[in-house]
Structure 1
Amino acid sequence: MCLAIPTRVVELLPDNQALVDLGGVRKAISLELVDDVAVGDYVIIHVGYALTRLDPDEAARTLALMAEAGLDVGGAGACP
């Protein structure tokens, strides 16, 4: 099962790509489906594509709920 998990953009890369960080796990993802993403934004990612930007407060609440439920949001539960 894949989960769409909020991740923070830490670097914008060439070719509409970005480097994201989730609990110390960093991965390059595509920004093809989302406009105007900046460093520090949170995005929902699924199968390597950012699907939408997410409000930072909403991202924090979502990540806290996932951690409370015992999900490893450090990368193991997310799809690359």
Structure 2
Amino acid sequence: MKIEVFGTGCMKCKRMYDNVTEAVKKAGVQAEIVKVEELNEIVSRSVLMTPSMFIDGEEVVTGRVPTVNEIIEILKEEA
């Protein structure tokens, strides 16, 4: 599983990355977590609002910071 967190480095984006990291550990799933901060990459992937989270190339959260528990539920659905 590949999880990408899109954001320009703001506090919300950092919090989402931290929540994703914690959720992956708590859920016990194998995942590569990638932080995408390059504006060109964000635009090329058609991300309209940050922070955004993609799992295996599919946008699952946009424009808000989900809780750790919410991310765990998303991970279970995607597994």
Q: Normalized against structure 1, the TM-score is what?
A: 0.33
* Bigger strand share: 1
* Bigger helix share: 2
RCO higher in structure (CA 8 A, sep ≥6): 2
Q: Normalized against structure 2, the TM-score is what?
A: 0.33
